[in-house]
Structure 1
């Protein structure tokens, strides 16, 4: 039940503002990553900067408050697997947006909640319904409209975003699994550990020294923007119920359209908007049906 008091309404509004903030931060981060990729920096280097900056920012933010004890985990194997999935998701997305518009990539990536709903039954035992299965099918029709395989507008890089969304969905499912054993701060640190330290082994083969202060600023901003975005999501869920703030995560699509237009002059065509609307509608229905069942 939603709190009708002025204090409860204030908290809900605060949660909505936080989730909308994340919808601005993530597209800007992706815009900087696209700039770097188009400037000749390898996606592996860009993904490493994203992960390593995330680790540094989280350590600076959390260690003074929680101490080094926050690094202790009861599910090390699961944490490593989560981190590997997030690294693969980021790497696939950064690779894809070198060649496709950010708004198109964002539309496809919004299938992550649909994949979570599909896999939550076999992996978490969360039973689904016929209506949700139909919504899943409709959502993936929306993806086909955005990608348009078999036409001259199809780009193979779009499949990289599909891989990114799938890995991110698996990452979310594993995050649910360990929510009762590890603290959110611990999971936040471990989420980027594979990308931050695992990619160091390939950096010597792909490294390109930043050529300008602008490029250095973009590299440094990736981890900060990503970490702040995830922090905004966490704070949003602290202030307001998930079923209220979750629909506002689709602000990320509008943020991506704005960033794509202002930074690169890209704007979705009519079918792109239609496909995105179908994906969002399917996701909202699944969220509504879960709320109704709870």
Structure 2
């Protein structure tokens, strides 16, 4: 799974990791917790960068914590045997795209105010719909195409190209990160046919440590105790958020927990104001609702179509 809470979650295949949507309130609570933890992680990345921590370092320590948390999850649940995979190439592809997306998302948090970077990140479902239509040839009706168009209008309202309100490089990095995060969801959909969610999470974190470890030979450096504390909080929050995300999907359907992701704007605004003295501009408050509503429409429409497909399958089976 991507590091973004609003990324389309993976299918969990036929494994014991399959979600059981029978406790929606618990699922919502876990999703809200994961959103808070991810907001803490992103604030930690930005704060660490102000103290000289390179993005590569943040990625490395975040992935170490994610791998450890995923391993503990597996040991407490399905066991190490569940990590066996016959799809090494697919996991490597997922790692390369996911790691690049995470790097761009981290960099966007450094270049932009937290609220603006978070809001632009809400375009992940919009890009995912676009990529699914173009790459997977998934049928996309007027509801979802309309939501895609409205979402990009929301982005234009926030970015206002040429106005100087938002740093162009930061906006470009944030949009590129959202696009690649959406691309990860396409890869995960295919992996989900045979791989458990915890398997995908573990191999993403573990395999990414190889290239990041090599980069750390150049970018790794010593820091003072306070900075190490920030890095530790960032990494632990990111790893714990991964478990909360996975747990939420075991307890409630995507359509139930997904809207909770948009509460991240509340935390981003609060952390941005407290830690960096940054408040969202008027354009962000105008554009954010458009993007959020677009994302919710996409999730709702996919949920409705999924239920229709199940009803049709049941009807066909009964004939």
TM-score by length of 2: 0.84
Cα distance in structure 2, aligned partners of 1:85 and 1:247 = 25
Following TM superposition, by how much is the alpha carbon of 1:23 offset from its aligned partner in structure 2, in angstroms? 1.4
For 2:200 and 2:146, the matched residues in 1 are separated by 33
Aligned pairs, number: 286
Q: Quote the Cα distance in structure 2 between the aligned partners of 1:52 and 1:272.
A: 34
SS in 2 for 1:192: helix
Q: Say which of 257, 260, 283 aligns to 1:248.
A: 260
Partner Cα separation in structure 2 for residue 143 and residue 102 of structure 1? 15
CA contact 1:26–1:226 (8 Å) conserved in 2: yes
1:178 pairs, out of 182, 191, 200, with 191
Structure 2, gaps ≥5 residues long: 1-19, 307-319
Partners of 2:70 and 2:243 within 8 A in 1: no
- Give 2:177's match in structure 1, choosing from 164, 182, 188: 164
User: Could you tell me how far 1:61 is from its partner in structure 2?
Assistant: 3.3
**1:5 corresponds to:** none
Q: Is the 8 A contact 1:146 1:276 kept in 2?
A: yes
Counterpart among 187, 190, 197 of residue 210 in structure 2: 197
Correspondence for 2:166: 154
Match of 2:42 among 30, 47, 59: 30
TM (norm. structure 1) is 0.91
Question: Partners of 1:12 and 1:61 in 2: how far apart?
Answer: 21
Partner of 1:228: 240
Q: Write out aligned runs for 1:63-212 (5 A).
A: 63=75, 65-155=77-167, 156-212=169-225
- Equivalents in 1 of 2:273, 2:30: separation in Å? 24
Cα deviation, residue 64, structure 1: 5.2
**RMSD of the alignment, in Å?**
1.9
